[in-house]
Amino acid sequence: MNQKAKKISLYGMLLALSMVLSYIEAILPFSIGVPGVKLGLPNIVTVVGLYSIGTPATLLISFARILLVAMSFGNAMTIAYSLAGFFLSFGGMLLLKSWQLSRTAVSICGGVLHNLGQLLTAMLLLHSPQLLLYFPVLLAAGIAAGAAIGLTAGALSTHLHRFLQRL
């Protein structure tokens, strides 16, 4: 198989994995009693991708996942909230990655900024600045979920690196 076909296959597998993780997250009975708080399982693929396949491919895979998941399981509001959170978090993760911080630190930044992006979107769409009072809860959730995702991505990156070397 030529290199281009291998890349396309890898990107397709990562997109499929991120969609499966989105679905698993949607059906998990995970709740800490705070509306909207999720683990962010698909972000494992995003963090691994940033360190393994590069920014453009990771951006494309993540963007495609958001659109496909929203069309499959969500609605227009899902797309708005997801994209707002994604673009803010992706930009922050790129910045921290350029500073050569750990995957866990980059992921924590992503988790916090994702929550902030969604909160700002809600404030804008609902014309409710009072929602900002919810930020401390979302900050704590973003730190916890981001740390868990970052640690998982770090462990998986080692195995993926070995796999990619064999391609």
Distance (Å, rounded) from C-alpha 143 to C-alpha 63?
23
Residue 93 lies in a domain: yes
Residue 109 lies in a domain: yes
pTM for the model stands at: 0.91
Residue 113 lies in a domain: yes
Q: State the CATH number of the domain containing residue 104.
A: 1.10.1760.20
Contact yes or no for 142/114 (Cβ under 8 A): yes
Contact yes or no for 113/89 (Cβ under 8 A): yes
Q: What is the mean predicted confidence (pLDDT) over 73-89?
A: 92
Distance (Å, rounded) from C-alpha 28 to C-alpha 47?
21
Domain range enclosing 55? 3-28+39-166
Residue 135 lies in a domain: yes
Name the DSSP class of 33.
S
| Number of residues written out for the chain | 167
Q: Which two tokens stand for residue 101?
A: 């911080």
Distance (Å, rounded) from C-alpha 3 to C-alpha 45?
21
Q: What total of structural domains would you count in the chain?
A: 1
Residue 33 lies in a domain: no
pLDDT of residue 145: 96
Q: What is the mean predicted confidence (pLDDT) over 83-88?
A: 96
Give the residue from 60, 13, 28, 22 showing the smallest Cα distance to 40.
22
Which band of pLDDT confidence, cut at 50, 70 and 90, is reported for residue 119? very high
Residue 49 lies in a domain: yes
Tens of pLDDT along 89-113? 999 999 999 999 999 999 999 999 9
Give residue 40's region: left, alpha or beta (phi > 0; psi -120 to 50): left
